Structure 1
Amino acid sequence: MKAKNQRLTLLILAIAAVLAAVLLGMSALKDQAAYFYAPADVARKGVPLDQAVRIGGMVKDGSIQRAADGVTIDFIVGDETDAVIPVRFTGIVPNLFQENSGVVAEGRFLPSGVFVASEILAKHDENYMPPELAGARHKTETLE
C-alpha cells in the first residue's frame, strides 16, 4: 500500500472515530438535557408535556401555600410580562426560597398546566450575604 493511501485511510478512520465519539456523547446527554422556559415562553409556545424542563422567574407575593403534610408547597412563578406558572413541589426548599425572590425549578408539566418540580433552586442577587455574616457585619458597623 502506498504511503498516500495509508494516510488517507488513517484520516478516514480518525474522522469516523471522532464522529462516533461525538454521537455517543450526544446520545448520553440527550436524557440529561433540560430546556429553560420563562413564564412568558410557556404562555407563548405552550407547555412541553413529555420532557424534563426548567422554569425560572420570581415567586409571586402571597402565592406560597404549604400543604398539611409539611413538605408539599404550591406557589406561582411569574415574570415581568405578568405570565404565571403554578408550581407544586414536594421536598425541602432552600433557605433562600421566599416570596418575591428568584427561583429556578426543574421538573415536568402536567396536562392541567401545573408544573411539578423535582428540584428547586433559589436565586439571589449580587448583594446577597449569608445571615450569619450579615449579622456579624451589622454588629461591627454599630461598634465603630
Structure 2
Amino acid sequence: MTRKQRRLTLIGTAGLVLAAALGLVLFAMNDQIMFFHSPQTVAEKNVQPGTRFRLGGLVQAGSVERGPSQSVKFRVEDATGSIPVTYVGLLPDLFREGQGVVTEGVLGPDGVFKASTVLARHDETYMPREVADALKSQGHWQPGAGPQGAAAKPPLATPVSQ
C-alpha cells in the first residue's frame, strides 16, 4: 500500500467514525431537538409529570390571574388545547393575553405546568421604546413607519400594570 492509499484510507475511516458518532448523537437527542412543545404535542407525546421542558403558545384571553407576592396563573393555548401554567416572579414587559409566550419548567402531577422562566415572544417589528424615541427625536422614524421609512407597526414596549 502506498503512502497516498494509506492517507486516503485513514481519512475515509475517520470520516466514517465521525458520521457514525453524529448519527448516534442525533438518534439519542431525537425527542429533545425542539425549541418548545405546544399543548398539542404535550398531549400527543403523553409527557409524564416531573418532565422538564419548554412549553410555548399563546396566552389564552381571560386566563391571567394575578395572586399575592408576584404569583401568576394563566393558560397557554394553541389551536387544539391549552395547559394551565403557574409562575412566581416578574413577568416580561411584553407578556399579555393573546401574546406569544415560551415558558420553561416542569409538568406537575395535577397537569399544571410550574414555570421557572417566562419569555414573551414578539415579531420582528418590535423596537424598544427608548430606541424609537431616539429615532423620533433625530427625525429618522415617524409613527407608522419603520426605522428606514418602511411601513411597520408602532413599538410594542408598553408597561404591564400589576
Gapped regions of structure 2 (runs ≥ 5): 1-13, 144-162
Amino acid at match of 1:131: R
Partner amino acid for 1:98?
R
Which structure has the highest helix share of the two? 1
Q: Which residue of 1 aligns with 2:43?
A: 43
Q: Deviations over 1:74-132 (max 9, x none)?
A: 00100123x10100001111111111111111100111100000111111011111123
Q: How many residues align?
A: 134
Match of 2:147 in 1: none
1:48 to 1:134, Cα distance in 2 relative to 1, 3 A: farther
Once the two structures are TM-superposed, the CA of residue 45 in structure 1 deviates from its matched residue by 2.6
Structure 1 residues without counterparts, runs of 5 or longer: 1-13
What are the residue-to-residue correspondences of 1:105-116 with 2, within 5 Å? 105-116=103-114
Q: TM-score by structure 1 length?
A: 0.68
**1:64 aligned partner:** 64
Of residues 36-45 and 54-63 in structure 1, the stretch that sits farther from structure 2 once superposed is: 36-45
Asked if structure 2 preserves the Cα contact closer than 8 Å seen for 1:107 and 1:119, the reply is yes
CA contact (8 A) 1:34 1:52 kept: no
Give me the whole-angstrom Cα distance separating, in 2, the residues matched to 1:80 and 1:131: 32
Say if 1:50 and 1:34 are closer, same or farther in 2 by CA, change over 3 A: farther
Residues 1:89 and 2:100 are matched in the alignment: no
Higher-strand-fraction structure: 1
In 2, the alpha carbon distance for the partners of 1:122 and 1:42 equals: 20
Q: 1:135 to 1:107 in 2, by over 3 A?
A: same
Deviation sequence 1:13-46 (CA, Å, 0-9, x none): x9xxx9xxx9xxx7xxx9xx68631011122232
**Displacement of 1:69:** 2.0
Alpha-carbon separation, structure 1, partners of 2:83 and 2:138: 41
